[in-house]
């Protein structure tokens, strides 16, 4: 981890993963985001037997942040899974809605950062307001 804030972000994602409700996939995911205001919000995946109603950990964290801060900007995202997995397309699009241009994504297991990438490397051409009529 590069900074104390990053360590706190990682710990929040690991802790959130413990609350994962994943009885169908057995794939526990925890995520945490750091907003421009310096706040950390975490979330876990919550599955549903109607699979379309499932919500990913990344979106849970972002929705919590929006409900607390309103308009916000995401500086960092940490995703904790075992084995390592990248955010799904729906999560990437939601992250794109709020990410600053320098947003960093850290993919981790429960002990280490496995991969560090800029958000733009994940989704170089997101659908954004400029593409609306």
- Catalytic residue numbers, as ranges: 58
Report whether 80 contacts 13 (CB < 8 A). Answer: yes
**Contacts of residue 111, Cβ cutoff 8 Å, sequence gap at least 6:** none
The enclosing H or E element of 10 equals helix 4-17
């Amino acid at each position: 981890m590069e900074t104390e804030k990053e360590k706190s972000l990682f710990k929040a994602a690991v802790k959130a993963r413990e609350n994962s409700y994943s009885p169908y996939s057995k794939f526990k995911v925890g995520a945490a985001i750091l907003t421009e205001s310096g706040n950390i919000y975490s979330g876990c995946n919550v599955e549903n037997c109607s699979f379309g109603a499932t919500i990913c950990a990344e979106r849970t964290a972002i929705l919590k942040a929006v409900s607390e801060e309103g308009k916000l900007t995401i500086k960092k995202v940490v995703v904790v899974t075992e084995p390592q997995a990248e955010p799904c397309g729906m999560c990437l699009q939601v992250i794109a809605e709020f990410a600053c241009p320098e947003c960093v994504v850290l993919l981790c297991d429960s002990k280490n950062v496995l991969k560090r990438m800029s958000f733009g490397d994940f989704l170089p051409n997101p659908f954004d307001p400029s593409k609306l009529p």
